[in-house]
Structure 1
Amino acid sequence: MLIARLIADHFSEGTGDLDTRLDAASAALEADGMPLASAMMLDVGLPVLEMRFAEGQALKVLAAIDRFFAPADALVGEGEIAVPHLFVSDMDSTMIGQECIDELADFADLKPQIAVITERAMRGEIDFEAALRERVGLLAGLEESAIDRCLAERISPSPGARILVATLAAHGCRSVLVTGGFHHFADRVGEQLGFDRVVGNRLGVEEGRLTGGLVGAISDGRTKRAVLEKERVRLGSGARVLAAGDGANDIPMLQAADYAIAYRAKPQAREAANGRVERGDLTGVLALLGIPRRDWVGA
């Protein structure tokens, strides 16, 4: 059984618009060998259309959603969609609305130069570790206190992030923030948002200034997947995993998750996920999981 859900709050009610789109999508998918078994609206406080198929391919269903329902936040899963036991998420441009290293670079008057490297790394055009070391090297000599100022003045949670993590926790889900960014930022972001564990890179600091180097092993795409797999084993057989990310180094963990959400993502990450949130905020993930709005924590 393949189940697809999409948030349909922007389609005109009572005009037949949604029904027309559903009929067109159903016809196209049936022609592709995936007849629609059933369709219904879920009562979760937002209009969520659920489509069920006896069998099929998630990517083809997502392509049909893009064709007939775009823009629409969506999730396609094998079997019944349920609240996950584990949530593993990227930080920059996912749980927060910024790229920390780009914002920190602004305090050293280097934001344009560093932002270009960040963008290319997120698109997978250059090696993540090489790009990370190059950007960190440019920050050599910056006062460590600039991090506190950056956190206070520049860094803010993505809309819906707190509600997402708190609601998942209330349903027994463990949350891990794993980032290619830095513990200086991630530890505080993780605490603010309610994550149970934080994994990231460590900036070298000497005499109150950044050294331009990193301390310890690099946290990258392979790290993200390894953390996900180890946490899943820790939770035991049958643990369902939700992952969220936006860039190329998130692809390994997105591919390993049961529910992979590409949040306002770069094309490569979007193509690796079986879900996406692009139109609404992160609370859309809760609606797609079938958690009623009345049960959202902090909404």
Structure 2
Amino acid sequence: MTLVAFDFDDTLAQSDPGILLGREYDVASETRGLVEQGLRDEIDFETSLRGRVSLLEGMPERRVETAFDRCQLRDGAAELIADLRRSDVSVAIVTGSFERGVEATLDRAGIAVDHLVANRLVLENGALTGDVEGPVLDDRKDRSLGELAVAEGEDLDRTIAVGGGATDLPMLRAAGTAVGFDPVPLVEQHCDVVVPSMRKLRLYFDQHDIVDADGT
């Protein structure tokens, strides 16, 4: 068995659920500004995340669901996840994004993963409070990967991490194999392999016998 841990935003998913929430609640420019500050390393991930979620205070639950309904997996992602699991590979998603949005996206695609490590938006009286809670409030995804490896009885050096953003870097460094999915330059230099697309990622897994070539 092998454990493969994926980032969600901009790796498995075509778009960031947090950005979709901002658009739905008419705070898209403010949300993107906080994201870009984080990318420029002007603020840390937790500050950026809490700032973005605070902009959503009072957002009705139905509008949250509408935003999450717009989140889609990349072409080929659902098939890859399903084939990995059929090949006795344990599949995890480790993301600073929101559990409810990830679950809704997977449900629409008709797939599941073995582990989902994500944050949670706090709801009260049918609306967001502007607070967030969960296990990935900082950028320590390596901690989550280590805990998943222990739960699966897998050596950390046999795990594979897939991601491309700065917050994925600790997880990529900790994994036995770091796969950069269209990574930013800072991340690329720490990757064992770099792939530009889901098709190339599938090819990598096929060539290294991680997933059966015929998906059975």
TM-score, with structure 2 as normaliser? 0.87
Matches of 1:292 and 1:168 in 2, distance apart? 5
Shift of 1:198: 0.9
1:138 is matched with 55
Aligned equivalent of 1:248, options 166, 174, 177: 166
Aligned equivalent of 1:270, options 181, 188, 191: 188
Aligned equivalent of 1:207, options 118, 125, 136: 125
Shift of 1:254: 0.3
Matches of 2:64 and 2:204 in 1, distance apart? 31
Q: What is the RMSD of the two structures over their aligned residues, measured on CA atoms? A: 2.2
Letter paired with 2:103: D
> Which deviations, in whole Å up to 9, do the C-alpha atoms of 1:47-70 show, x marking residues without a partner?
xxxxxxxxxxxxxxxxxxxxxxxx
> Any conservation in 1 of the 2:95–2:136 contact (CA below 8 Å)?
no
Matches of 2:212 and 2:152 in 1, distance apart? 27
1:169 is matched with 85
Distance 1:177 1:238, change over 3 A: closer
Does the residue aligned with 1:93 lie in a helix, a strand or coil? helix
Aligned equivalent of 1:180, options 96, 104, 114: 96
Matched, 1:285 2:204: yes
Matches of 2:78 and 2:187 in 1, distance apart? 23
Does the residue aligned with 1:180 lie in a helix, a strand or coil? strand
> Which deviations, in whole Å up to 9, do the C-alpha atoms of 1:95-152 show, x marking residues without a partner?
1110111111101111122113223324544200000011101111111111221222
Does the residue aligned with 2:71 lie in a helix, a strand or coil? coil
Matched, 1:108 2:51: no
Matches of 1:256 and 1:136 in 2, distance apart? 28
1:219 is matched with 137
Does the residue aligned with 2:147 lie in a helix, a strand or coil? helix
Does the residue aligned with 2:8 lie in a helix, a strand or coil? coil
The gaps in structure 1 that reach 5 residues or longer are 1-83
Distance 1:204 1:211, change over 3 A: same
> Any conservation in 1 of the 2:76–2:198 contact (CA below 8 Å)?
no
| Range moving further from structure 2, 125-134 or 212-221 | 212-221
| Range moving further from structure 2, 247-256 or 105-114 | 105-114
> Any conservation in 1 of the 2:59–2:127 contact (CA below 8 Å)?
yes
Shift of 1:193: 3.6
Matches of 2:164 and 2:38 in 1, distance apart? 12
Matches of 1:141 and 1:89 in 2, distance apart? 31
Letter paired with 2:34: I
Matches of 2:114 and 2:194 in 1, distance apart? 24
Letter paired with 2:48: A
| Range moving further from structure 2, 287-296 or 232-241 | 287-296
Matches of 1:197 and 1:293 in 2, distance apart? 21
Aligned pairs, number: 212
Matched, 1:189 2:105: yes
1:97 is matched with 14
Shift of 1:172: 0.8
Matches of 2:204 and 2:43 in 1, distance apart? 30
Higher helix share: 2
TM-score, with structure 1 as normaliser? 0.65
Matches of 1:170 and 1:198 in 2, distance apart? 18
Could you say which structure has the larger radius of gyration?
1
Matches of 1:166 and 1:280 in 2, distance apart? 14
Letter paired with 1:117: L
Distance 1:179 1:189, change over 3 A: same
The gaps in structure 2 that reach 5 residues or longer are none
Distance 1:251 1:264, change over 3 A: same
